[in-house]
Amino acid sequence: MRNQKKGRLVILAALVGALIWSFSIQVQAQRTVEISHMWGGGEGESFNAELDRFEALHPDIKLMRQQSPSEEYRALLMTQFAAGDPPAVFAHPWPAFMGELAGAGQLLALDDVWREKDWDRYYSQSWKEMGSYEDQVYGVWIKSNCKSAFWYTVKEFEELGLTEPKNWDEFLDIGAKFKEAGTPPLITGAKDAWPLTDWFENTFLKVGGPVLYNQLIRHEISWEHPKVVEAFEVIKDLLDKDYFAPNLLGYGFFESFMKRTRGEAGMQLMGGWINGMTQAEFGWKPGVDFTFFTYPIIDPSFPMAITVGADIVNIAKGAKGIEEAKILVDFLASPEAQAIWVERGGLIAPNKLVTLDFYDANAKKEALALSNYVVVFDLDDMIPTELSTAFRAELQRFFDNPTLLEDILNTMEAKAEDLY
């Protein structure tokens, strides 16, 4: 009898132990953190590959992944913050937007985490400063791209006997040869508006130089400045020459990408993510089947300069899962995470421990451009949100009807005067 009792107690203890173990596993599984981003297609697949690796390394943390279309993303984040329910971690390309949120007390300062995790071994001082607001760090950069790249298909250039241009006159000659062959030289996804910002920014940088470019970001010069006007006039000349594919406002970024790769246009001004997208969609070999050249010099008195865009991750202050969010951000900052995307093509890693050995031919070309040329940050990402919204809408008006330029610049200047 005593043995039977003892046996029952052993069984009961085992059952209780199993229940406790099961409960602990359930509790572990309940550790979740929201991560929000705007990447679709090949970019989304690459980012999800990073997140998959994180979950493999941290099986006790479940990621709640949110992906929103790029054209809706900033408005969605603003709505979520206004409602008091933002994602714990969110990735975006807008330093000005980060400053607005930090100034409103909506973001978690990461200075202590930076010191604890020793992120100085990952980032140069300039990247740290760009992730800061009023001397406090609020974010870490997880990807970057040159945004001054004209992408083209190597076979098409070879068939027309074309070589990469060294200046604007040579670029215009390439356009003329595409037209002679019956192909529009240029294409852009104007329906999405944001691709047009790269056209103004790069052109203004080439006619006004880096100093004036940064002064416009800070509104130290007017949007009616003669060099701003000149930049628009350079673009108007391309429109007048009929260099852009027809139905300019009829399709967005991805469709324009597909049209160019089908041979319906010769060149596309777009960021380095085209490298990964092209490999994912078609399996083309970088540097062999497709490549890019940087936006050519217009005024030779200025140094060769390019624009760069980059994506940062922030943590919303007071969000659920703050400790898990810190673990996730630490992983996204790491060379292991950033090398995953680099090896898939489509970004340059801000983490300095990811060396050129990780890059394919196109990405290496892009990384060298970032190292060797004067680099300025994407203007549209640096100006206030309200001004950026107006900027995109006014650019669509301009590309639709360049004769409206005076009214467009008046509108931009009036908006800037209200916001600065």
What CATH number should be reported for the domain holding residue 358?
A: 3.40.190.10
Per-residue pLDDT of 67-122, as tens digits, reads 999 889 999 999 999 999 999 999 999 999 999 999 999 999 999 999 999 999 99
- Exposed / middle / buried, residue 159 (Cβ in 10 Å: 0-12, 13-18, 19+): exposed
What the block records as the tokens of 404 is 């409206």
Q: Residue holding tokens 């043995």?
A: 3
Task: State the total domains in the chain.
Answer: 2
**One domain for residues 335 and 315:** yes
CB half-sphere exposure, 239, CA atoms < 13 A: 19
Same domain, 412 and 266: yes
Three-state secondary structure along 74-92?
Answer: HHHHHHHHHCCCCCCEEEE
Beta bridge partners of 33: 63
**Whole-structure pTM value:** 0.86
168 & 131 share domain: no
Residue 259 lies in a domain: yes
Q: Are residues 42 and 116 in the same domain?
A: yes
Do both 217 and 349 map to the same domain?
no
Terminal Cα-to-Cα distance of the chain (whole angstroms): 87
264 domain-assigned: yes
**Model pLDDT for residues 191-247, shown as the tens digit of each residue:** 999 999 999 999 999 999 999 999 999 999 999 999 999 999 999 999 999 999 999
Task: Please check whether residue 97 lies inside any domain of the structure.
Answer: yes
Range of the domain at 164: 149-270+384-419
Give the pLDDT of residue 126.
87
